[in-house]
Structure 1
Amino acid sequence: MLKYEWIYQSLLLQIQSGDLPAGAKLPSIRNLSQHYSCSKSTILAALKRLEDQHIIYARPKSGYYVVENQVFKTPSFTDSIDFATSSPTWHAFPYKDFQHCINKAIDTYQEELFRYGTPKGLPLLIAEAKKLLESYQVFTRSEQIFITSGVQQALSLLSIMPFPNNRSTILVEQPSYHLYLDMLKTYRLPAVGIQRTAKGIDLNRLEQIFHEEDIKFFYTMPRFHNPLGTSYSKKEKEAILQLAHKYNVFIIEDDYLADFEYNLKNDPLFAEDFHEQVIYLKSFSKIMFPGLRVGLAVLPQTIINTFQNFKMTADIDSSMISQAALYLYLKSGMFEHNKTNVSNIYHERAKILLQSLQNHLSMYDSSSEIVMHGHIVIPKQVNMKSFIHHLREQQIYLDSVERNYLDDFYHERILKLNVSNVDEHRIEEGIKKIASTLKKTENYFL
């Protein structure tokens, strides 16, 4: 081991052990040189390595200080099978590539970081986002694209702002995205539900609601629905658009898993919207990471000014560092490369999940699409809480869709199955255990 590497390891150990805590000043270069009996250049080489890893930083004419004494540790192996967690697989993301983009963004766009007044988003990112959206068959003008602090912010603003149809009630699929339902409950916004199952929705019921209720917009996930994992057919999407136009109802299309679509003919609702009634939302949470907090909203011309006014009061700007870094990540081609790698990983897991459901749980209603999350409907005689608890004792983690319903809507007995964080070789093992436990439980009641 070279001398500077040994010194680096020695200083790192002192920092990690807490002998040199965050904010602590390191001994001077001269003192370190004397302590380790080496040249100043050797000490500088060790310090540079610590600085490159963002463990220490230099203050001009003062010295070196500790940034943080905690460093990332690879999680230890666990024997559990987690079908409950829906966050993306952390180790699939090339974080060092994105770290380059963050550092470059800070270096290149220093001036922009000290400005207010870009409520629509960083213009460079909007231009790149326009190209990205076209790959999803979302063709729009730059002025219709807004960068938001995640899709969550866009949903919040759209829910509280007035719409041109002067209506107030929000229609949501049941079940639906639990955090959005939590927001509706928290702000006590008027909302009604329409049942969605693996077979889709009742279009006659949809028309009845559009006709009888004061519907402002219909919030929907046409493809890879959360939590069901199902998609609307082309015929269903066409019918929904026709009804929305007939009854002057806007549609919010949450296309959060567009990056994982393998069927090139499965276009979003937005692609067939000729009356500017579809608001298209795109998230980066699953293909990259939730902490990025960047979302895209494509708005009809009629609501742009209102949305911009409401957004200005919410945050003036979404994170400029995240926006600039994402712009570089898109422009450099890193995003497309990562998208291919991650979607291939998820696609393989999704195929195993579907095959496992068909092999071991075919007698239960379930999703039938190749997507990383699906569901099964549990028989009435099975106590859901006890069933989930029993499997947890076997280190199989499951979750119900209880939170994915409005309080006054009938709650189906559905289990979510997400393989985002389950290794390929363990998916079928977990499904087998679920099937075995279900069979034992049902036999108990026969």
Structure 2
Amino acid sequence: MVKYRQISYAIADAIKHSHYKEGERLPSIRELADKHQCSKSTIIQALQELEQRQLIYSVPRSGHYVLKKGFLPTAPPAECYDFATAAPDWNAFPYDEFHQCIRKALDVYQQELFIYGMPNGLPSLIKTMERHLQDHQVFVSPEQIVVTAGVQEALFILMSIPFPNNKQNILVEQPSYHLLIDYLNKYEIPAIGIERTEQGIDLDELERLFREEEIKCFYTMPRFHNPLGTSYSTEEKKAIVKLADQYDVYLVEDDFLVDYDSNSKADPMYSYDMKERVIYLKSFSKILFPGLRVGIAVLPKPLLPAFQQFKLFMNIDSSILSQAALDIYINSGMFNHHRSRIRAPYEERSHALNNGVRLMKAELQGVLLRSPLTSCMHTHVELDRRVNMNTLAQQMKKRKVEIDMLERNYLQGFPRSKIAKLNVSNIPIAHIPEGIQRLIEAIKASLLG
């Protein structure tokens, strides 16, 4: 990465974490040049980029100041250790580049913005997605691709429409994505749970459920599961696909963090599907930003008519402007550059998180029951029943630590474990070791006598 951009990201991160507060004057160009050991012209370039991103503004003969803006999130105090926030770091988003793509989309796609009639998505984006998905070993014809308003829209459609196998029950890993769980619980959609742990799922139990329970589809996150952070092995993925074919079950594969996986050999379940059993879902919310509201659903041909009709009733067209901007962003090469750039800091955070969990295992023997050895930027720890959860919440608040307990991640009636999710998407990497140590102290203080 060029030097001026490294500096601009460093200053943006300092603004986010209130090292430079709204309205505060930044150090002079000379001071910044000395600090970053570069030329004044490099600092000027960095400051110009920050101005374009509307993070700072300049006052002639006075200097540069942090802009007071309503959309800037309130940075947590320095002593707050946030392991709960799962949204992507807004400072990592390439505002200026995507802004250019939006402006170009307004010029290039003028006619498309003023017409209805593209329920499957912008045709040029669908062609782009056909090529883009090949990078993830998803080879598909364009007519099987449907652009949705985020993966969440695709999930809710799939949970609601009839499937060609004429079965009713939805099988869901436990725990699982909380908004889907909320939807299933709220509207009493027939759903069955199967436990997933750091060791995966019981394939014998999965086969029994497929055989005996009239399973319409099995919703699964093989890669970087939410909230557990674990991934299935190649052998497990192949076995699940084989069972789905044997018992006439569809698989809904939510691959929402595929862009963060540096393991080129970790193929999706879709790549092992020879009988059109896998529905593949891809999100851009984590790699870009949630407000883009563009998701991709790759559907077996027998399922397309019902899905398309339901989507038409819900949403005539997904945002054409968002689709057009994303199409330009990917084809320009900016997306691949952005993905490569942000992987490194997230991998550093993941490494620090894994080190923290190892420390927890060493200091909480017999209290921390289960946790994966490695994970991505989120993971989980299962606690012993002796841990008093109310006391733990009080002890964490006292120590300025925030984590996510999985109350909303289980189907009604499914046995719950005392599982805490730890996410490092937004916490500064330097805060992770101290935050883990404070969490260890809070857990120790919450043990029942």
- Asked if 2 retains the 8 angstrom alpha-carbon contact of 1:146 and 1:297, the reply is yes
Q: In 2 relative to 1, CA 51–279 (structure 1 residues): closer, same or farther, beyond 3 Å?
A: closer
Contact 1:230 1:368 in 2 (8 A): no
Partner Cα distance (1:209, 1:72) in 2: 47
Q: Indicate yes or no: 2:444 matched with 1:439.
A: yes
**Equivalences for 1:132-151 in 2 at 5 Å?**
132-151=132-151
Q: What is the distance in 1 between the residues matched to 2:134 and 2:53?
A: 38
Q: Deviations over 1:359-408 (max 9, x none)?
A: 23343211222300001011101112320232122211111011000011
Q: 1:102 Cα shift?
A: 1.1
Query: 1:136 is aligned with what amino acid?
Result: H
CA deviation profile, 1:84-130 (whole Å, cap 9, x unmatched): 11110111111121111111111221110111010110011111111
Structure 2 residue identity aligned to 1:179: L
Q: What residue in structure 2 maps to residue 389 of structure 1?
A: 394
Residue 194 of structure 1 aligns to a residue in which SS? strand
Structure 2 gaps of 5+ residues are 1-50, 55-67
Aligned with 1:416 (options 405, 413, 421): 421
1:124 paired residue number: 124
Q: 1:52 to 1:336 in 2, by over 3 A?
A: closer
Query: How far off is 1:73 after superposition?
Result: 4.4
Tell me the residue number matched to 1:225: 225
Distance 1:164 1:74, change over 3 A: closer
Alpha-carbon distance in 2 for matches of 1:380, 1:74: 37
CA contact (8 A) 2:53 2:95 kept: no
- Equivalences for residues 250-289 of structure 1 within 5 A: 250-289=250-289
1: distance between equivalents of 2:239 and 2:215?
17
Give the aligned residue type for 1:389: Q
Counterparts in 2 of 1:257 and 1:52: CA distance versus 1, 3 Å: closer
Cα deviation, residue 213, structure 1:
0.4
Residue identity in the other structure for 2:388: N
Letter in 2 for 1:287: I
Question: 1:347·1:370 contact (CA, 8 Å) conserved in 2?
Answer: no
The secondary structure found in structure 2 opposite 1:361 is helix
The 2-side partners of 1:381 and 1:156 are apart by: 38
Aligned residues: 382
Amino acid at match of 2:244: A
| Distance of aligned partners of 1:73 and 1:184 in 2 relative to their CA distance in 1, 3 Å threshold | closer
Q: Is the 8 A contact 1:229 1:371 kept in 2?
A: yes
Residues 346-365 of structure 1 mapped to structure 2, 5 A cutoff: 346-362=346-362, 363=365, 364=368, 365=370
Gaps of 5+ in 1: 1-49, 54-68
**Kept in 1: contact 2:166–2:216 (CA 8 A):** yes
Which residue pairs with 1:100 in the alignment?
100
Q: Is 1:405 aligned with 2:410?
A: yes
What is the distance in 1 between the residues matched to 2:120 and 2:141? Answer: 13
Identity of aligned residues (%): 49
Q: Match for 2:403: what amino acid?
A: L
Give the whole-Å Cα distance in 2 for the aligned partners of 1:420 and 1:70: 23
Which residue number corresponds to residue 199 of structure 1? 199
Query: Who is 2:35 aligned against?
Result: none
1:302 is matched by which residue type in structure 2? P
Instruction: Please tell me whether the aligned partners of residues 388 and 398 of structure 1 are also in contact (alpha carbons under 8 angstroms).
Output: no
Partner of 1:19: none
2:368 pairs with 1:369:
no
Q: 1:322 & 1:73 partners in 2: Cα distance?
A: 22
Instruction: Please state whether the residue corresponding to 2:328 is helix, strand or coil.
Output: helix
Q: Find the aligned partners of 1:303 and 1:77 in 2 and give their Cα distance.
A: 46
Distance 1:122 1:228 in 2: 35
Corresponding letter in the other structure for 2:100: H
Matched, 1:78 2:77: yes
| 1:305-342 Cα shifts (integer Å, max 9, x gaps) | 22111111111100111101111111111111111112
1:403 match: secondary structure: coil
Q: CA deviation at 1:70?
A: 5.8
The whole-number CA distance in structure 2 between the counterparts of 1:195 and 1:71 is 43
The structure whose Rg is larger is: 1
Do the aligned residues in 1 keep the contact of 2:53 with 2:96 (CA within 8 Å)?
A: no
Q: Using the alignment, how far apart are the partners of 1:52 and 1:372 within structure 2?
A: 26
**What is the root-mean-square deviation of aligned Cα atoms in Å?**
2.0
Q: Describe the superposition over 1:106-162 as per-residue Cα deviations: whole angstroms up to 9, x where unpaired.
A: 122111011101011001111111111111111111111110000000001111111
How many angstroms apart in 2 are the aligned matches of 1:190 and 1:321?
A: 37
TM score, norm. by length of structure 2 = 0.82
Cα 1:134/1:438, change in 2 over 3 Å: same
Residue aligning to 1:62: none
Deviation string 1:204-228 (CA, Å, 9 cap, x unpaired) is 1101111110110000000100000
Quote the residue 2:91 is aligned against: 91
